[in-house]
Amino acid sequence: MGLKFLVINLLGLNLSAILMRKILTLFLFCFMATGLFGQSFYVVTSNSQLYKVTVNGSVISQQNISSCSSAIGSIAVYKSTLYYCIGSSVYKATISGNSIINCTLVGTAVGSSALTVDANGLLYLVSGFDLYRLDPNTGIVTDLGTMPYTSSGDLVFYKGELYMASLQGIVKIQMNNPSASTLVISSSSTIYGLTSISLNSTTNKVYALSLNGNTTNIIELDLDNNVMGQSIGNLPYLVFDAGSPVEDGSLQDVKIDDVKIITDCPFNGKGTIQIISNDATSDFKYTLNNTTNSTGIFSGLSPGTYNLSVTLGNQTVQYANNPVVIAAFGLTKPTVTITKQNPACLDKGIITLGAGTEGSLYDIKYNNVLYSFDHSFTNLAAGTYHFDIMNKNGCVVDNMDIVLPQDACNINVNGIQVTEKCTDPNKGSIAVITSPGTDVYTYHLGNATNTTGVFNDLDPGNYTINITSAGGGNMDVPATVPDYKVINPTVTYAKHDAVCTVKGNIAFALPVNSAQYTITYNSVNYPFSHHFTELDEGTYAFTILKPDGCVLDNISVNIGKEGCEIVAFPNTFSPNNDGVNDIFRPTQTSKADDFKFKIYSRFGVLVFTSDNSHNGWDGNHNGMPVPVGVYYWMASYINNEGKPFTKSGYITLIR
């Protein structure tokens, strides 16, 4: 069973529309599975759902199987192992009840259009026209040769021979010479799946799964006479692949391998018989006297005589040691010796339970895990430990609580390390340095407690760190965090506020070698000598970094702004040469760019014009004084905000 059709498509074969739909659905997925025995097999549907199909005479039933893989393409089964492929990667999983679990990677093979497994557990794949073999134990892939046919979707073994579903029908593959493979059953049906089920311990039956609209026919194949038989039933979905535990050509073995007799727990004088068939599946039926089930486990039995058998289909095998005589059930307990070592300093405690020669008959249960006697329980902290003594039937025959006290040890302090906080010059850190190999210490400073001995973000001041050990020791250690702002060099700065259209600037200074320091502004690092210019009005935040990259200081500088004088005009002027208001012009503290200035008489005559705010009208026109009266003026300019502006008004001329 395998990854179908992608390779066929790449080779340019003319595929039917339904075959193309299968390519899109499977894409590069190949799936192999386990756990199908007896008269059951698995199928994978067009929407990647996995079902277990059981054939019981004319009755066909299905069971939904959950999967640990997100996509199922093709499947194959070998004993209790499920192999499957995603692309060219081969995985394996385990079938547990109605679930597939423990999906793990096996190795890398090829993009496969068919996949199955032989009786030795070797995988066979078809990629295009080539037949490959993959050893899942070593990951070695072998190209066995080229066939005259390619797969439409499946492979199966029957009586030691390998068969393949192709677009033309059923092909018998010559494994030693794939080029000699032949078409043994011609068919126009679209066959995707091949599967084999065990009718009994001597006979397997092979079926083809043929698409029929939105359903799938199960068609019996007679590979002894190379004849396609009749449909034995129909599945209500499209089957893209099938697999079973006897697809490797093996025959189902019906036998009783072992019988276990167990005392019921808690003890009530009764017990359990478990019939064990190592190759058993859910199709096996177990009988104890006149009681039959599918588990082989019979509980609540009184001492007595019992006959055991197992049945598969029309075969029934009796237990070779029938009848089984069960004597009275009982519980005994061993004599237990306790050896322990208390935890001390960093050395953890050890508990060892011994029971001499009796130990092989019992287990130790600790934290819901079973251990054999003479096992040493290590890495134990001080405390009380509970152990249950279990017999091999799983019953508790004894229990005990063992106390491990903590042995004390001394606290050894090598020193105190006080450092400045790298990101904040106003804070410091204290680290208590202790000898390696001493006990586990806990450090306390105020409300803070840790096991590292390091305390950060401390203000300048005197501190006392209390140290306690797991062994019971206790010690106080003093430490002082200095005022690093006093110790560190002081950063000064000079600034110029913005004036009118002139931007502000800032420069920093240090009394030490400033070339080793840097300044961070807006997440960008600058040399300390950098002048920050073209600054608008506002507050600017700078971080001064020391040569080691730590913060020396965080400084905020406010840049103010002096406004420009607005352009203003008087409303009268007297050009009489007395030195007062002799010239009509803007106030001389004004600042204006692109200045234009014009003055008109009341008759609309232009009497004055200027492009300079410092030049004004002296009351003359064409060299002659103009009459006393009212004149109209108009000025245009760019104001101190960089915006065009126009002013106009009237001026009264007096002499």
Q: Phi first, then psi: what are they for 21, rounded to 5°?
A: -65, -35
Reading the block at residue 378, the tokens are 């290590």
Instruction: List the Cα angle 186/192/194 in 5-degree steps.
Output: 80
Mean of pLDDT values over 8-36: 34
- Of residues 327 and 340, which shows the higher confidence score? 340
CA dist., res. 457 & res. 371, Å (int): 49
Are 443 and 378 contacting, i.e. CB atoms less than 8 angstroms apart?
no
The region of weakest confidence among 83-97, 111-125, 615-629 is 83-97
Mean of pLDDT values over 269-280: 85
In sequence order, which residues have a C-beta less than 8 Å from that of residue 391 and are 6 or more positions away?
263, 331, 332, 361, 362, 363, 397
Provide the pLDDT for residue 255: 82
- Of residues 220 and 638, which shows the higher confidence score? 220
Q: Is a pLDDT exceeding 60 seen at residue 5?
A: no
* CA-based nearest residue to 6, from 107, 123, 93, 86: 86
Q: Is a pLDDT exceeding 80 seen at residue 278?
A: no
Q: How far is CA 399 from CA 271, 364, 366, 375, 383, in A?
A: 22, 9, 10, 16, 17
Mean of pLDDT values over 173-187: 96
pLDDT tier at 48 (50, 70, 90 boundaries)? confident
Long-range contacts, stretch 172-181, CB < 8 angstroms, 24+ apart:
173/131, 173/147, 175/131, 175/144, 177/145, 178/130, 178/131, 178/144, 178/145, 178/146, 178/147, 179/145, 179/146, 179/147, 179/148, 181/147, 181/148, 181/149
Provide the pLDDT for residue 32: 32
Provide the pLDDT for residue 626: 93
pLDDT tier at 26 (50, 70, 90 boundaries)? very low
pLDDT tens profile 478-507: 999 999 888 889 999 999 988 777 789 999
Provide the pLDDT for residue 24: 33
- Of residues 394 and 230, which shows the higher confidence score? 230
H or E element that contains 7:
helix 6-10
Q: Is a pLDDT exceeding 70 seen at residue 13?
A: no
The region of weakest confidence among 157-161, 464-468, 511-515 is 511-515
Provide the pLDDT for residue 174: 96
H or E element that contains 54:
strand 50-56
Tell me the whole-structure pTM to 2 decimals. 0.42
Residue-wise burial string across 93-123, b where 16 or more C-beta atoms lie within 10 A, e elsewhere:
bbbeeeebeebeebbebbbbbbbbbbeeebb
Provide the pLDDT for residue 565: 58
H or E element that contains 231:
strand 227-235
Are 229 and 214 contacting, i.e. CB atoms less than 8 angstroms apart?
no
Provide the pLDDT for residue 509: 95
pLDDT tier at 25 (50, 70, 90 boundaries)? very low
* CA-based nearest residue to 430, from 444, 411, 440: 444
Provide the pLDDT for residue 16: 36
Are 651 and 631 contacting, i.e. CB atoms less than 8 angstroms apart?
yes
Are 157 and 181 contacting, i.e. CB atoms less than 8 angstroms apart?
no
Q: How many residues does the chain have?
A: 655
Q: How much of the chain, in percent, has pLDDT values that exceed 70? A: 91
CA dist., res. 84 & res. 282, Å (int): 22
The region of weakest confidence among 88-97, 117-126, 164-173, 183-192 is 88-97
pLDDT tens profile 337-374: 999 999 887 788 999 999 999 999 999 999 999 999 99
pLDDT tens profile 565-614: 577 888 888 998 888 888 999 887 776 788 899 999 989 999 999 998 88
Mean of pLDDT values over 79-96: 84
Q: Is the previous residue joined to 323 through a cis bond, with omega within 30 degrees of 0? A: yes
pLDDT tier at 637 (50, 70, 90 boundaries)? confident
Are 33 and 95 contacting, i.e. CB atoms less than 8 angstroms apart?
yes
Average pLDDT score over the chain: 86
DSSP letter assigned to residue 479 = E
Q: Is a pLDDT exceeding 60 seen at residue 30?
A: no
